[in-house]
Amino acid sequence: MQKKILAMLLAGGQGSRLGILTSNIAKPAVAFGGKYKIIDFAMSNCINSGIDTVGVLTQYQPLSLNRHIGIGIPWDLDKKNGGVTVLAPHVKGGESGEWYSGTANAIYQNIDYINSYNPEYVLILSGDHIYKMDYSIMLDDHIKKGSHATIAVLEVTIEEASRFGIMNTNPDGSIYEFEEKPKEPKSNLASMGIYIFNWSNLKEALIRDSKIHLDSDFGKHIIPAMLEEGLKLNAFKFDSYWKDVGTIESYWAANMELIKTLPDFNLYEDFWQIYTNSEHQPPVYTSHTSDIKTSLLSEGCEVYGKVYNSVLGPDVFVDEGAFVKDSIIMQGCVIGKGTHINRAIVDEYAKIGGNTVIGQGENLPNEDYPSYYDTGITVIGAISVVPDDVVIGKNCVILGTTSIGNYPNGILQSGKSIMIQEAVL
């Protein structure tokens, strides 16, 4: 008999390291793999795992994410009893509410929602990772071992371990210590931010910690407190594909991995489909002038030029003589005649003029945001306009409707930015 479990999906993060890709939308709403959004993977994992009650916690720039989730139809989560519920910060009494100030605080603020379903177990998820996982196997392990909490872990290299929350375990998988980004890690078992708790234990811990920490967090507060209290915590090892696409480079690289002949992460498996809320589009059209190699093209694309090693979202138009290489072109973009784009990310509904070159020159870090744009990838923001006949270097950032006057001598040197306005989707 299946136990009662409810999922809480944390989807309110800004994802600031993705730069202008998240200037107006939350990280889980960013496009991935052409037609999908990042949040689609956790949502699809839920329904594929037999979990049909999901609370999605939103906060930063939620409009696009709310539209995408809707009432949950694509994921078969449009149910009267259960289904998907979007949970934004709200007033609970008095004259004002408060923002979610930590991962555990966000769950604490929605205790009434969880109580209304009276689950035995609560699954905590992040909405900004790319992976496929059967949560029912993790739940079975949790129940079999009599755990109060089970934490999904992934083996990373010992060199990477200092970037993660690390679980130190006994030979039987029981956790005896949690270290947040240790300088000298004792193990390489990194927390994936996926937890299963007995609801009775978690509720008690949330209420208690809310009186101590205003920014109550699972990694910093709840898990260490449970260990100190002597509760039984176990690690659940996950050994398949998982990516945190939290930087421009990791986001670009994860998209590029999808176009391999035998990708590590397969979007085409019938037994574990990824669902999304996408409009019906006409088929892809490629003309006799087109040349496409090792690329992923979404519905509604029209290609008259060359597309090599690239990912195109729905309804992208690539004009004759244009050449798109090693790039991500998101939904509704127009690439002008004779334009060459190399190693770039072009966000939704941007228009790139004709005879323009993007991604040429030295690999100089961006002057304004060197920690975000330093791997040679140029990013064009959503609904931006780039004129005809300009040359744009590497690690450049462009946001807004630009004209030839914004490009000295028709050139934007590597590492430079043009930020005219914020786009609104």
- The pTM of this model reads 0.91
Sign of CA dihedral 58, 267, 124, 50: positive
Residue 17 or 286, more confident: 286
Distances (CA, A) of 415 to 125, 367, 396: 36, 5, 5
Average pLDDT over residues 41-59: 94
Q: How would residue 374 be classed by pLDDT, with cut points 50, 70 and 90?
A: very high
Instruction: Judge contact between 199 and 5, C-beta under 8 A.
Output: no
- Of 74-83, 92-101, 189-198, 214-223, least confident by mean pLDDT is 92-101
DSSP 274: P
Check pLDDT > 60 for residue 379.
yes
Tokens found for residue 303: 């290609």
172-183 mean pLDDT = 91
Q: What is the pLDDT of residues 83-105, one digit of tens each?
A: 899 998 866 655 556 788 889 99
Write down the pLDDT at residue 82: 86
> For the purposes of burial, counting CB atoms within 10 Å of the CB of 38, is it exposed (0-12), middle (13-18) or buried (19 or more)?
buried
Give the dihedral sign, CA 250/255/259/261: positive
Which residue blocks in 36-97 are alpha helix, DSSP H?
A: 39-48, 63-69
pLDDT (mean) for 46-51: 94
pLDDT at 422: 56
Residue 1 — pLDDT band, cuts 50, 70, 90?
very low
Q: What is the DSSP string of 139-208?
A: HHHHHHTT-SEEEEEEE--TTTGGGSEEEEE-TTSBEEEEEES-SS-S--EEEEEEEEEEHHHHHHHHHH
DSSP assigned state of 401: B
Taking the alpha carbons at both ends of the chain, their separation in whole angstroms is 45
Question: Is residue 59 scored above 90 in pLDDT?
Answer: no
pLDDT tens digits, one per residue of 398-410: 999 999 999 999 9
Judged against a pLDDT cut of 60, whether residue 314 lies above it is answered with: yes
Average pLDDT of every residue of the chain: 91
- What pLDDT, on the 0 to 100 scale, is given for residue 329? 98
Closest CA to 272 of 21, 2, 34, 40: 40
Mean pLDDT value across residues 267-281: 82
Q: Give the burial string for 188-224 (b: 16+ CB within 10 Å, else e).
A: bbbbbbbbbbbbebbbebbeebbeebeebbbbbbbbb
Token pair belonging to 74: 């694509």
Reported confidence tier of residue 2, pLDDT bands at 50, 70, 90? very low
User: Amino acid letter at 23?
Assistant: S
Q: How far is CA 275 from CA 121, 156, 329, in A?
A: 25, 29, 21
Q: Which residues contact 303 (CB under 8 A, 6 or more apart)?
A: 284, 285, 286, 287, 290, 292, 297, 312, 316, 318
State the sign of the Cα–Cα–Cα–Cα dihedral 155, 13, 379, 416: negative
pLDDT exceeds cutoff 50 at 159: yes
pLDDT band (50, 70, 90) for residue 355: very high
Residue with tokens 């008095």: 94
Q: Which residues pair with 297 in a beta bridge?
A: 312
